[in-house]
Amino acid sequence: MSIPSEIDYPRRVVIDNTDTRIKYVGDWNLDVGSFDNLGILGAPYNHTLHGTNQHGASLLFDFEGEFIQIRGAKDNRKMPHDPKLPYDNVTLLPKWTCEIDGGAITQYNYYNYSYYITNNVLCEQGLLSRQRHTLNLTVIIDNPNTQMFWLDKIEYKPLDRANVEQEVLKIDSSDPSIRYDNSSRGWYRDGINGDGIMLNSTGTAGSSLSFSFTGTGVSLYGFNEGNIFRRKSTARYYVDDSSVTTFETPDSKMDPDGINTTDYDNQLLFTSPTLQPGQHEMVITFTGVRQSDEFIQWLTIDYFYVTGSSRSIQLNSTGTGGTSSGGGGGSGSNPGAGSSGSESNNSGTPIGPIVGGVVGGVVGLAIIIGLIWLFVKRSTKKYPEQVTSRRYSSTPFDSQTTYASPGFIVPPQPPSPQSHTVTPVFPPYSPTSQPLMMSGPTSPPSSVPTGSTTTHSTNLNQNWMDLKDAQRNAVSNIRHQDGGIRYPQQVVNIPPSYTPR
């Protein structure tokens, strides 16, 4: 399930929790395999986790890079559950702090949806200075009998030309090294672009993609749709001039309670055989065909894991887009191609034209600003009725009142950790009129706090009433006569009435 930061940093090095470069402080335990089938977000990386229930236990990790993300697993096995409400009270779970070089970084709570157990984003931070950094994660335990903290993996974007030999690289489906042949218009981007939750999917037989990588092996992870049941279908791949290998996109899977089918993320579709070190080209083609009225499982590309073989590889994405309307070409960069050629010729760049262009641009901008100022000034004199009346003034915000704010927004992080919303994916992926859900359901209404909302609504209503009063006070009522012809009033003398004696 791609999230915003994965689109911003689509190529990363993946560090397993068993890697000796992670320095554990305190009492930590290794778990192998017990979380593989828990939840619907896929097995932990390499099927391992490191856990602790010791308050103050910590870990240190040194790296050279500009982005880092830490993922872990939520252990809700000792928490009370309401079968009617599949949500966890995350306040009863462990907490943690994350720091880079002594400064706090962006931190998230666990997903509150009960089935979101593995692959929880714990912390992340981008736009780091291009130098060596130290990550320090400290665990906070309130009740060691019911709380257990689990670390899964660390992902970071290394500096350009970093040595990634024998490292595992994660390549997101949005990376330009993946070129989608969309001549048949069979590929679709599923998700909401504004939220950054993006997957590339196809249900059209013959739709293909090509993926350029440098390494000795590759694995593909995708998405298994289960909101409606889908029969398994097939696809195939080949690397360079090797023979074709067929793999399946499996049937929809039952939820952990075994009641209904549901969506599953981070699903392994295939792992290639070991390859010779060097650059390779992989081509994947969807071959599924729908039979009768049954729906088939689409081929969905989430990300690749590549075992690196180059001592120096360019991890900085270049080029734009990964979709081609032609046969398998299209724009996109090769992850092993390095920087563009223009970077090596900076010494020959002419300085004079650049300085002249900058000076000319500044002068032109000043002229444009002056013309705009004259136009606005003349318009104001010509149309004085556009000036707001002095009698009208809207009620300003009360500086003593606390208003609701949208909070801190981090660039297609996961859904909000405290209250995850349903992200619909509309047709053409779903053949029905109902949207395909890509994330956990919304929290029950009872979990929404009401205190701050009431205060906010009251103040907004008061401001609205003050505004309407100001509008009414600014209006003077004057009754006008119609413009018709008016005749002078005629006086008629009438004799008095007499009464008989």
Mean pLDDT is lowest, of 106-120, 231-245, 359-373, 408-422, for 408-422
Listed ranges 192-206, 333-347, 459-473; the one with the highest mean pLDDT = 192-206
Please give the pLDDT value at position 389. Answer: 31
| pLDDT score of 343 | 36
pLDDT greater than 70 at residue 238: yes
Same fold yes or no, 1-159 and 162-337+419-442: yes
Exposed e or buried b for every residue in 436-474, given b needs 16+ CB within 10 A?
bbbbbeebeeeeeeeeeeeeeeebeeebeeeeeeeeeee
Residue 226 — pLDDT band, cuts 50, 70, 90? very high
Instruction: Give the pLDDT confidence score for residue 493 in this predicted structure.
Output: 57
Residue 281 · residue 140 · CB < 8 Å? no
The reported pLDDT for the residue numbered 354 is 65
pLDDT digits (tens, 9 = 90+) for 24-83: 999 999 999 999 999 999 999 999 999 999 999 999 999 999 999 999 999 999 998 887
Read off the pLDDT of each residue in 337-365 and give the average, rounded to a whole number: 54
Is pLDDT larger for residue 352 or for residue 259? Answer: 259
Position 158 scores a pLDDT of 96
HSE, CB side, 13 Å, CA atoms: give it for residue 116: 27
Asked if pLDDT for residue 228 goes beyond 80, the answer is yes
Domain 1-159: which CATH number of 2.60.120.260, 3.40.640.10, 3.30.930.10, 3.30.413.10: 2.60.120.260
The answer on pLDDT for 497 being more than 60 is no
| Per-residue confidence band for 245, with pLDDT thresholds at 50, 70 and 90 | very high
| C-alpha of 254 from chain center | 26
Q: What pLDDT does 419 receive?
A: 41
Average pLDDT, the chain: 76
CA dihedral 39, 430, 195, 440 (to 10 degrees): -30
Lowest-confidence pick of 146-150, 320-324, 349-353, 393-397: 393-397
Q: Which amino acid is at 263?
A: D
- pLDDT tens readout for residues 447-487: 334 443 333 434 444 444 444 444 444 444 445 454 444 54
pTM listed for this prediction: 0.65
- Look at 17-21, 189-193, 203-207, 472-476 and tell me which has the smallest mean pLDDT: 472-476
What integer pLDDT is reported at residue 13 of this predicted model? 98
Mean pLDDT, residues 417-437 = 35
Q: How confident is the model at residue 451, as a pLDDT?
A: 40
Helix (H) or strand (E) holding 378: helix 352-382
**Could you tell me which residue, 466 or 395, shows the higher pLDDT?**
466
pLDDT tens per residue across span 265-320: 999 999 999 999 999 999 999 999 988 888 999 999 999 999 998 765 554 444 43
DSSP states of 1-35: ---HHHHHS-EEEEEETT-TTEEEES--EEEESTT
User: Of 332 and 32, which is predicted with more confidence?
Assistant: 32
Enter the tokens of residue 103: 């400064």
What proportion of the chain, given as a percentage, has pLDDT over 70? Answer: 63
Q: In sequence order, which ranges of 170-232 are alpha helices (DSSP H)?
A: none
What is the tens place of the pLDDT at every residue in 359-393?
677 777 878 887 776 665 555 444 333 333 332 22
Domain boundaries, the chain: 1-159, 162-337+419-442
Position 375 scores a pLDDT of 64
Amino acid at 23: K
Residue 196 has pLDDT above 90, yes or no: no
Q: Which residues pair with 436 in a beta bridge?
A: 425
CATH number for the 162-337+419-442 domain, one of 2.60.120.260, 1.10.10.10, 3.40.1350.10, 3.40.50.1000?
2.60.120.260
In this structure, are strands 424-425 and 436-437 parallel, antiparallel, or unpaired?
antiparallel
